[in-house]
Amino acid sequence: MRRAKLAAAVWRTRRAQGVQILEAGALGKIPWLVHGFTLRPGGASMLDGKRVFNLGRTDWDTRENVLANRGKLLTALGAKPMQIVSQRQFHSTLTRVLDAAPEQPVKGDALITRTPGLLLAVLTADCVPILLADTKRRAVAAVHAGWRGTLARIAEKTLGKMRMTFGTCPRDVLAVLGPGIGRGCYEVGAEVAQAFHSQFAHAAEWFEGPFERLVSDDTPNPLQWLNMHPPGHQPPPPSVHLDLLAANRWQLEHAGVPTANILASNLCTACRKDILFSHRAEFGRTGRLMGVIGIRV
């Protein structure tokens, strides 16, 4: 019972307009802030005979449905006067600082603002959505962190941009990591393991499987005839599983955000297709979740 109460204090699900939005208790206590991570059920979109809350453009959904869903999101959050600002994500570290809503969607993977009325958004279907709130300077950021962005330290760089632009001190920041694919479901190849090994001294802590073997043995076996496979039919290289949440948590801590100020949902998009979207587990035919954060008008 005590554990259930603690979980409820950390996270709560807002239900309104026939949709569900996951909210972090720590951010919910800030009166000038609005935030949330959308869940799958409900909405105006139809996928495999079920109504879903799809917030992104896909080949199976219509623009009208997506716009209707975004309207439902604003109403459910009590943020109707605000404007959703999304971006054309491409797994980069490009960070945009906004003081007004752009006329056209900008290209990038992180948005920062201190302007009230802008609801910064990231779209995900396995990647990790990260929301940052500077509680002293009243600045917020929304970050899209897939493995490429994580490798390039997008969370750390976004904090650096906030510090440079607004004077943000990392110890004043609350960081929330929304639903993303969990380590047990996120199988990656040798090239990903080697890339992380080259950039992070702590990379081995974020992988499950023969990580050391992959990063140390990068030369092919010259005596291929010694194995039992015929020529041209060598076994595929071993794979490992990457913990994106752990890697981004470490980056935030390394940048100076106190451990107690970092909260992760631990909901796996691939395991929980009943309430989340997963590009990998659904073989690309899925919707998009949206993580949002903004300063109330």
pLDDT at 111 over 80: yes
Interior/surface letters 141-177, b for 16+ CB within 10 angstroms, e for the rest? bbbbbbbbbbbbbbbbbbbebbbeebebebebbbbbb
pLDDT at 4 over 60: no
Round to whole Å and give the CA distance between 95 and 90. Answer: 12
Round to whole Å and give the CA distance between 240 and 163. Answer: 35
Over residues 69-78, the pLDDT tens digits come to 999 999 999 9
Q: Any alpha helices (H) in the chain, and if so which ranges?
A: 2-10, 25-28, 63-76, 147-151, 154-166, 190-199, 211-216, 244-254
Res 189: pLDDT: 94
Over residues 57-68, the pLDDT tens digits come to 999 999 999 999
Over residues 216-249, the pLDDT tens digits come to 855 454 444 445 556 556 666 688 999 999 999 9
Round to whole Å and give the CA distance between 145 and 91. Answer: 7
Res 112: pLDDT: 98
Asked if the structure places residue 86 within a domain, the reply is: yes
Res 105: pLDDT: 86
Q: How many domains does the chain have?
A: 1
Range of the domain at 71: 10-181+264-295
Res 232: pLDDT: 59
Asked if the structure places residue 3 within a domain, the reply is: no
Asked if the structure places residue 231 within a domain, the reply is: no
Query: 140 has which bridge partners?
Result: 113, 133
Over residues 239-297, the pLDDT tens digits come to 899 999 999 999 999 999 999 999 999 999 999 999 999 999 999 999 999 999 999 99
- Give the residue-averaged pLDDT of 168-192: 97
Asked if the structure places residue 150 within a domain, the reply is: yes
Asked if the structure places residue 94 within a domain, the reply is: yes
Inter-residue contact 240 to 211 (CB < 8 Å): yes
Asked if the structure places residue 35 within a domain, the reply is: yes
- Give the residue-averaged pLDDT of 2-24: 80
- Give the residue-averaged pLDDT of 149-160: 98
Query: In this structure, what CATH number is given to the domain that contains residue 115?
Result: 3.60.140.10
What is the average pLDDT value for the chain, to the nearest integer?
A: 93
Type of residue at 47: L
pLDDT at 30 over 80: yes
Query: Which of 240, 156, 178, 235 has its CA nearest to residue 204?
Result: 240
Asked if the structure places residue 221 within a domain, the reply is: no
